[in-house]
Amino acid sequence: MTRRIDMTLITTTLVCLLPIVLSLALYNDLPNQIAIHWDSAGTPDNLAPKTIAVWGLPVLMAGIHIFSHLMIKNDPKQANASSVLKQVGRWIIPIISVILIPIILFKALGYNIPIQIIAPAMVGVIIIVCGNYLPKCKQNYTVGIKLPWTLNSKENWNKTHHMAGYLWIIGGICMVIGSFLNINWLSIILIIVAVLVGVPLMYSYLLYKKGI
């Protein structure tokens, strides 16, 4: 039986690897050690050899992307997942790769890029997009809030995702706004993420205890 070539996977994987072209163009000008992580003040707190930043980061992004793509594609209930959320799942890593890796390279060259603003703002926008489509996502094993209670009850799944959708939009907006404020955004992100994960979990469990 002939298998169809997954052109979406090929295209998105190539997009993940696209920053290598820029890396090779800048290679001779890049320092031997490149910052790949920053604290909440934008100060580098983790360095990697130039070869790791140039080759390793794009390949790592491509590997994570291929794994997540195959998880979505092989979900036995993939038809239930929101088509937009599936597209977000397929494109999120490639988009992060082509934005984040060039920022890392140009930061290494001395450009004053506010990574401490860009990173949380990007995460906030992603959360807003996902929150907008969570209520439209039907039961599946890959995309959405996958808990024993949501997977076991269609009503529990729908109610939990409806509530979580509004919560994620609010949380994403707060994260975007917080990224532009002169505050410790790392603590804010951790608090927002804890709320976005913990509140739907508790809500779903309470519905389960009510027999839903």
Q: Are residues 129 and 84 in the same domain?
A: no
Name the domain boundary from 63, 94, 113.
113
pLDDT tens digits along 111-158: 888 887 888 888 888 899 888 888 888 887 777 888 999 999 999 999
pLDDT, one tens digit per residue, over 21-42 is 999 999 999 999 998 877 766 6
Residue 122's pLDDT is 87
Domain of 45 in residue numbering reads as 1-113
Domain count, the chain: 2
| Domain shared by 93 and 131, yes or no | no
Residues 142 and 191 in one domain: yes
Q: State residue 199's pLDDT score.
A: 95
152-202 confidence digits (pLDDT tens): 999 999 999 999 999 999 999 998 888 887 666 667 778 888 999 999 999
Dihedrals phi, psi of 45, to nearest 5 degrees: -130, 10
C-alpha to C-alpha distance for 70 and 90, rounded to whole angstroms = 9
pLDDT at residue 13 greater than cutoff 80: yes
On the question of pLDDT at 109 being above 70, the answer is yes
Pair (189, 131) in one structural domain: yes
- What was the pLDDT predicted at 2? 45
Residue 194's pLDDT is 92
The last residue of one of the domains, among 64, 89, 113, is 113
pLDDT at 89: 75
Taking CB atoms within 8 Å and a gap of at least 24, the contacts of 97-100 are 97/15, 97/16, 97/17, 97/18, 97/19, 97/57, 97/58, 97/61, 97/62, 97/65, 98/15, 98/16, 98/18, 98/19
Do 123 and 179 lie in one domain? The reply is yes
Report how far residue 162's alpha carbon sits from residue 146's, in angstroms, rounded to the nearest whole number. Answer: 14
Domain's final residue, options 61, 87, 113 = 113
Query: For the whole model, what pTM was predicted?
Result: 0.74
Q: Are residues 101 and 150 in the same domain?
A: no
Same domain? For 121 and 72 the reply is no
Residue 204 backbone dihedrals phi, psi, to 5 degrees: -65, -40
pLDDT in tens, 56-97: 999 999 998 888 888 777 766 655 556 767 777 788 889 989
My answer on whether 51 and 139 are in the same domain is no
The H or E element containing residue 70 is helix 57-73
Residue 1: what pLDDT?
A: 41
